[in-house]
């Protein structure tokens, strides 16, 4: 092996390990850019590309920030409103009042450690969000050039390049359709649950479930946890348990099932492989893995078919040439 190839391999390995901690955030940025791409293409016809990309990223950041802020504010208000009453109510009970200080004293170090670890994670979380948004911005600006370069390097002819582009796009579209259908299924199942709980604003909450099911970072489980907390503060234990079980398990499970079968049918991937690619992708890359996992698996299968067809074509050409020469 030539020294230059050894040096190249060493440099690539070092670069990989340098970028490894940021891969989940970069992948999230790629998914965000793909979502925003149609809007970006339309908007860039009227304003400069950099302004169009920056404007879309800022708007998305404001939507996610506003949703997170509103949820945190609701949680804080509810806790401030009902927590002192609950503590006073349970402390008045002779048995609870006797053991509550002991339990709290033992739990205090654990709670303090957990809170400290959360505070330490905040800089990493904000750094991750910044990298994801920055990656999305540059993917919007230069993503098409990078894709064209990679595809031109892999494929030999224009037909092969178009085939790889169309295949990748079909997998991405399948994942997006699966995400929308999964969010819609969560909204419908949540609406049924809200009706069971006799909530007046069931339709409004269901629409909110649909929105947060699509957005990264937040999710429908947040709404159900807040709802369970509300019922717990109202001392309604049965509704609290129902909200937790129904919201975290039933609503969460329906999303995975619908997403799995939608991706499987639209992208022509086996359901088991679709499920494993989403689960494995989410473990490796977080939120972005739900999208990129099936896409990468599908792309790998497409490249295998591409190489296989190329070999068959090459062997057939070789056999034809040998037959003609022998004649």
Other beta carbons within 10 angstroms of residue 305's beta carbon come to 12
Percent of the chain with pLDDT over 90: 9
* Average pLDDT of the residues of the chain: 77
Residues 52, 78 within the same domain: yes
Residues 105, 209 within the same domain: no
Q: Is residue 187 situated within a structural domain?
A: yes
pLDDT at 273: 83
What band does 175 get if pLDDT is binned at 50, 70 and 90?
A: confident
Residues 83, 159 within the same domain: no
Q: Is the pLDDT of residue 318 over 60?
A: no
Residues 81, 111 within the same domain: yes
Residues 165, 308 within the same domain: yes
pLDDT at 121: 67
Q: Is residue 227 situated within a structural domain?
A: yes
| Segments forming the whole domain that contains residue 111 | 23-142
Other beta carbons within 10 angstroms of residue 43's beta carbon come to 17
Place of tokens 């509810």: 78
Residues 300, 160 within the same domain: yes
The three-point CA angle 267-268-273 to 5° equals: 95
CA distance 16 to 147: 19
pLDDT at 188: 93
What band does 184 get if pLDDT is binned at 50, 70 and 90?
A: very high
Residues 132, 237 within the same domain: no
Q: Which residue has the higher pLDDT, 89 or 283?
A: 283
Residues 220, 182 within the same domain: yes
Residues 171, 30 within the same domain: no
Place of tokens 């002779």: 94
Q: Is residue 7 situated within a structural domain?
A: no
pLDDT digits (tens, 9 = 90+) for 131-172: 888 999 999 988 888 777 777 776 666 777 777 777 777 777
Q: Which stretches of the chain are DSSP H helices?
A: 3-19, 23-43, 49-91, 94-154, 158-196, 202-214, 220-233, 237-245, 252-267, 271-285, 289-326
pLDDT digits (tens, 9 = 90+) for 9-27: 788 888 878 887 888 788 7
Closest CA to 28 of 221, 235, 287: 287
What band does 221 get if pLDDT is binned at 50, 70 and 90?
A: confident
Residues 197, 300 within the same domain: yes
Contact criterion met (CB below 8 Å) for 52 and 42: no
Q: Is residue 100 situated within a structural domain?
A: yes
pLDDT digits (tens, 9 = 90+) for 247-295: 888 888 888 888 888 888 877 777 888 888 888 887 877 767 777 788 7
Q: Is the pLDDT of residue 189 over 90?
A: yes
Closest CA to 139 of 60, 257, 231, 21: 60
Number of domains in the chain: 2
Calculate mean pLDDT across residues 97-112.
64
Q: Is residue 280 situated within a structural domain?
A: yes
What residues have CB less than 8 Å from 225, skipping those under 6 apart? 243, 244, 247, 248
Please give the C-alpha separations between residue 253 and each of 211, 215, 220, 225, in angstroms, as whole numbers: 18, 18, 12, 16
Residues 166, 100 within the same domain: no
Residues 117, 250 within the same domain: no
Domain stops at, among 86, 116, 142: 142
CA distance 136 to 25: 10
Domain stops at, among 111, 142, 173: 142
Domain stops at, among 87, 114, 142: 142
Q: Is residue 3 situated within a structural domain?
A: no
pLDDT digits (tens, 9 = 90+) for 63-76: 877 777 776 676 66
CA distance 102 to 212: 40
pLDDT at 263: 81
Residue 282 C-alpha from the chain's centroid: 7
Phi-psi region of 322 (alpha: psi -120 to 50; beta: other; left: phi over 0): alpha
């Amino acid at each position: 092996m030539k020294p230059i190839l050894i040096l190249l391999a060493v440099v690539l390995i070092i670069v990989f390990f340098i970028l490894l901690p940021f891969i989940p955030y970069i992948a999230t940025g790629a998914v965000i850019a793909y979502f925003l791409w149609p809007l970006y293409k339309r908007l860039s016809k009227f304003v400069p590309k950099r302004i169009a990309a920056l404007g879309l990223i800022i708007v998305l950041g404001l939507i996610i920030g506003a949703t997170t802020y509103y949820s945190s504010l609701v949680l804080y208000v509810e806790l401030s409103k009902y927590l002192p009453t609950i503590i006073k109510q349970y402390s008045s009970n002779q048995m609870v009042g006797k053991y509550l200080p002991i339990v709290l004293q033992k739990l205090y170090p654990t709670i303090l450690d957990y809170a400290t670890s959360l505070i330490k994670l905040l800089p990493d979380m904000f750094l991750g969000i910044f990298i994801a948004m920055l990656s999305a911005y540059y993917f919007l600006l230069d993503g098409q050039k990078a894709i064209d370069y990679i595809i031109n390097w892999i494929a030999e002819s224009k037909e092969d390049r178009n085939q790889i582009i169309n295949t990748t796009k079909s997998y991405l579209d399948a994942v997006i359709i699966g995400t929308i259908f999964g969010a819609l299924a969560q909204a419908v199942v949540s609406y049924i649950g809200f009706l069971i709980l006799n909530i007046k604003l069931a339709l409004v909450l269901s629409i909110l479930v649909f929105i947060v099911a699509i957005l990264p970072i937040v999710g429908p489980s947040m709404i159900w946890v807040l709802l369970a907390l509300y019922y717990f503060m109202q001392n309604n234990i049965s509704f609290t348990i129902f909200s937790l079980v129904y919201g975290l398990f039933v609503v969460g499970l329906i999303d995975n099932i619908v997403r799995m079968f939608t991706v499987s049918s639209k992208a022509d991937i086996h359901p088991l492989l679709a499920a494993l690619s989403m689960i494995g992708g989410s473990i490796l890359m977080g939120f972005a893995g739900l999208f990129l996992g099936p896409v990468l698996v599908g792309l790998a299968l497409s490249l295998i078919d591409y190489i296989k067809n190329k070999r068959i074509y090459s062997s057939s050409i070789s056999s034809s040439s040998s037959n003609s020469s022998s004649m």
